[in-house]
Each structure stands twice: as structure tokens, then as C-alpha cells.
Amino acid sequence: MNTLLPTSTVGSLPKPSWLAEPETLWSPWKLQGDELVEGKQDALRAAVQEQTSRGIDIVSDGEQTRQHFVTTFIEHLSGVDFEKRETVRIRDRYDASVPTVVGAVTRERPVFVEDAKFLRGATDRPIKWALPGPMTMVDTLYDAHYKSREKLAWEFATILNQEARELEAAGVDIIQFDEPAFNVFFDDVKDWGVAALERAAEGLRAETVVHICYGYGIKANNDWKATLGSQWRQYEESFPLLQQSSIDTISLESHHSHVPTDLVELLRGKKVMLGAIDVASTEIETPEEVADTLRKALAFVDADKLIPSTNCGMAPLSRDVALAKLSALSAGARILREELGGGA
């Protein structure tokens, strides 16, 4: 990629109202069978078109073909019983009824590879595909089989690596692993979290990203954030380990968050996907605000390693708000690109 400050999103975009209920996580599909397949593809095409026309350089599928960023992947695996549910505390934050691991987890067939081929055919721009990270997958299940978070994470890492290699072969340029759990379970991150992540990314020629955030702008997350004080220093735990890791790019929250920008320095040498768009607010950022957030980060990351992005996914937002935020992101990046003399 030759563009300076190539813009990207973390991944999800709102789904069209004819496909799923808007502004709702885990929203059930409104279509079935062949109509659902066609509807998902149309939504994916629309997501590509909107990103392209609004100046997003690294294009994603907008997660139009999945209900949830973790669950949809797990639904395709064997060894997990979705009928047998237990209530567990997710990310130490909220209780949820989750499926149970009842046997060895395996990937019987590719999960997203056909969708990725469709995305590849829909754009000439670099494409990025998001997968859940091993620790975040473990944290979304009740494990009655391995009875060890580490063992289960290792199995998931192997499965994720199989999927990632096939995504790469389908033409995906950048593979992202979503690990919001890295902001919660610091001992696990150190003991096996980063190692499991590296196992998931092992042998890939595609660029690799890990996305760590404070979650979607939903109530449970907003309530949690209110308890974190005036400085959010959670990244201080994982960044030094990731700086030493084989992962190419780290995606983090910045705009309107209480994350001290100087924590980015802990990643020196890595590419940084910096959140310059707040996904927990419906207010549209001005291009100047976006440029400001990016400019501050340039004290801690070289310009050729900075990727302007969103704080997290935008699935829970209304469509018009999310799309206006995409325009603000690229307009803000353009301001900074001009300042840096890289042209528009």
C-alpha cells in the first residue's frame, strides 16, 4: 500500500434494515434460505460501495454475513453444543447464557472463505478480514471438556490458523484477530494469550492485526468504562508483549477515550491502527477533530506506520450515522496527509 495514512475500519458496519433489525446486536435475519444468501451478498456489495465512495482505503466486509463477531465463527465448529447453555460472566463484565464445549473442538469446513472470495471479487482495494481471537473465543463459552482456558485457546488458535490460511489463499491481504479480552485478563495475556495469538497467525504472508478495545457502545460496556477512572491504562499490560510479538499491526481505541496517547509509544516499530472515530456516540466527528487525534498520535508512531481507523465496530449504530463517520474519518486523514506533504 503506497497511500500515506491509509484509512480502515475495525470491521462491522450496520446491516441494511431489509436484512436484519437495525441498531441491534445479535439481530435475527429477516430472510431465509436462498434469499438470505442473496441478501447477505447484496449487503456486502453495498458495504464495499459505501466504504469506497467515502474514501476508505482498506476495505472490509462490514461483517454483513455474520450475526455476531465471535458466535458466528463458533457456530461452524464441532465440539460446541448450542442447546446446552450455561450462564457465565463475559469479560468479567456481564452475565450471558453461552453454549457449552462438550468435546474436542474442530473446524469441519471453512467458515468465511466463500464470503471472503465474494469480497475479493467486489473490490480491487486491499481487503481485511476479521476473526475472533483465541482468548475472546474462550471467554464466550462454558468449557465442560478441556477444563482449561489455555488448552481450549490453543485448540482455537490451531483452528483459526487453518481458517486464516484459507482466507489468505482467497486473496485476503490483512487478517485481523479481535481480542477485547486482552484488556481484561492480564495474567492470561502474559501466560498464554499472546502465544496463542501468534499461533493463530503462524506462517501467514498476509499482514496480521490484533484489535483490542473497550467494546461496542452498548450499556454494559459504557457502565464498565465509567468505573475505569480518568486514565485508561489497560493497554500498558499487553502493548509491551505485542511489541515483541510477530503480529504486524495493533488496533486500539483513542478518540474520546481516556487512553493516554503516549501508550502508543510502547508499540514503537509496529503499525498502529488508531481509533479516530468514537463508536459509542452518535455525534459525527468533524474532519478537524479526526485530524487532531491522529496528529497527537504522530508523536509516538511514525507516519508511515499509522492507519487511521475507528475505535471499534459500528454495527450498533444507525446506518446514516455510521456512514457519515466513515466520511469524517477519510476527510480527517486527508487533512493530515496534506500537512505531511503526502498529497491528498
Q: What number of chain residues touch Zn ion (CB under 5 A)?
A: 2
Nearer to Zn ion (CB atom), residue 119 or residue 213: 213
Whole-number minimum distance, CB 124 to Zn ion, in Å? Answer: 27
Nearest CA-CA partner of 234 in 260, 210, 255, 209: 260
Whole-number minimum distance, CB 215 to Zn ion, in Å? Answer: 6
| Dihedral sign (CA 150, 152, 158, 159) | negative
- Based on the shown chain and the rule CB under 5 A, indicate whether residue 213 belongs to the binding site for Zn ion: yes
Whole-number minimum distance, CB 12 to Zn ion, in Å? Answer: 9
Nearer to Zn ion (CB atom), residue 11 or residue 39: 11
Member of 131, 194, 312, 323 binding Zn ion (CB under 5 A) = 312
Pick the piece of the chain touching Zn ion (CB under 5 A) from 77-85, 142-150, 209-217, 218-226. Answer: 209-217
Nearer to Zn ion (CB atom), residue 86 or residue 223: 223
What string of H, E and C letters represents the secondary structure of the chain? CCCCCCCCCCCCCCCCCCCECCCCCCCCECCCHHHHHHHHHHHHHHHHHHHHHCCCCCECCCCCCCCCCCHHHHHCEEEEEEEEEEEEEECCCEEEEEEEEEEEEEECCCCCHHHHHHHHHHCCCCEEEEEECHHHHHCCCEECCCCCHHHHHHHHHHHHHHHHHHHHHCCCCEEEEECHHHHCCHHHHHHHHHHHHHHHHCCCCCEEEEECCCCCCCHHHHHHHCCCCCCCCCHHHHHHHHHCCCCCEEEECCCCCCCCHHHHHHHCCCEEEEECCCCCCCCCCCHHHHHHHHHHHCCCCCHHHEEEECCCCCCCCCHHHHHHHHHHHHHHHHHHHHHCCCCC
Distance between CA 219 and CA 315 in Å, rounded? 14
Whole-number minimum distance, CB 280 to Zn ion, in Å? Answer: 11
Whole-number minimum distance, CB 32 to Zn ion, in Å? Answer: 30
Nearer to Zn ion (CB atom), residue 69 or residue 142: 69
Contacts with Zn ion, 101-120, as mask; x by CB under 5 A:
--------------------
Q: Which three cell numbers stand for residue 188?
A: 492470561
- Based on the shown chain and the rule CB under 5 A, indicate whether residue 280 belongs to the binding site for Zn ion: no
Cα 107 versus chain centre, distance: 21
Pick the piece of the chain touching Zn ion (CB under 5 A) from 53-61, 198-206, 211-219, 298-306. Answer: 211-219
Whole-number minimum distance, CB 80 to Zn ion, in Å? Answer: 23
Whole-number minimum distance, CB 342 to Zn ion, in Å? Answer: 28
Nearer to Zn ion (CB atom), residue 79 or residue 215: 215
Nearer to Zn ion (CB atom), residue 153 or residue 209: 209
Whole-number minimum distance, CB 180 to Zn ion, in Å? Answer: 5
Distance between CA 95 and CA 49 in Å, rounded? 37
Pick the piece of the chain touching Zn ion (CB under 5 A) from 61-69, 120-128, 206-214, 219-227. Answer: 206-214
Distance between CA 86 and CA 109 in Å, rounded? 26
Nearer to Zn ion (CB atom), residue 51 or residue 100: 51
Pick the piece of the chain touching Zn ion (CB under 5 A) from 139-147, 233-241, 257-265, 311-319. Answer: 311-319
Pick the piece of the chain touching Zn ion (CB under 5 A) from 21-29, 155-163, 292-300, 310-318. Answer: 310-318
Whole-number minimum distance, CB 316 to Zn ion, in Å? Answer: 11
Pick the piece of the chain touching Zn ion (CB under 5 A) from 153-161, 199-207, 283-291, 307-315. Answer: 307-315
Nearer to Zn ion (CB atom), residue 213 or residue 266: 213
Nearer to Zn ion (CB atom), residue 312 or residue 328: 312
What is the residue type of 135? Answer: M
Positions in the binding site for Zn ion (CB under 5 A): 213, 312
